[in-house]
Amino acid sequence: MQNKTEEESLKTRLNQNQMGEQTNVIEPESDIAQESTSTVYSSEDKFISDVITRGEAEKLKDGKLAPTTTHEIVEENEEGLPVIKRRRFSAF
């Protein structure tokens, strides 16, 4: 095991670029590296969101779906998210 001064010297050398200038390095144990601000969605939620965004899902109107609609919104779950069912394949 290396002593403290050898370890600090090694870190200093690793943090210098080829021109000898000091660079900023985020250590893995730092608070910044451990923070996560992204939201993780399940693949099912992402798929449903994308289908609705593209306009491929809608509720029945007069018992029929529009020609571009591939999925029917049949209900909403307890979280208020739509539940969809595939009704046909896209003709495009």
Among 84, 89, 75, 92, smallest CA distance to 57 is for 84
Does 92 fall in a domain? no
Q: Which domain holds residue 81?
A: 43-86
> Are residues 76 and 52 located together in one domain of the fold?
yes
The yes-or-no verdict on residue 3 having pLDDT over 50 is yes
Chain segment 60-72, per-residue pLDDT in tens = 999 999 888 999 9
> Are residues 77 and 49 located together in one domain of the fold?
yes
- Better pLDDT: 21 or 86: 86
The pLDDT of residue 79: 86
Does 91 fall in a domain? no
Distance, CA of 4 to CA of 12 (rounded, Å): 12
Does 62 fall in a domain? yes
> Are residues 26 and 60 located together in one domain of the fold?
no
Does 63 fall in a domain? yes
Chain segment 10-37, per-residue pLDDT in tens = 555 555 544 555 555 555 554 544 555 5
Distance, CA of 90 to CA of 45 (rounded, Å): 21
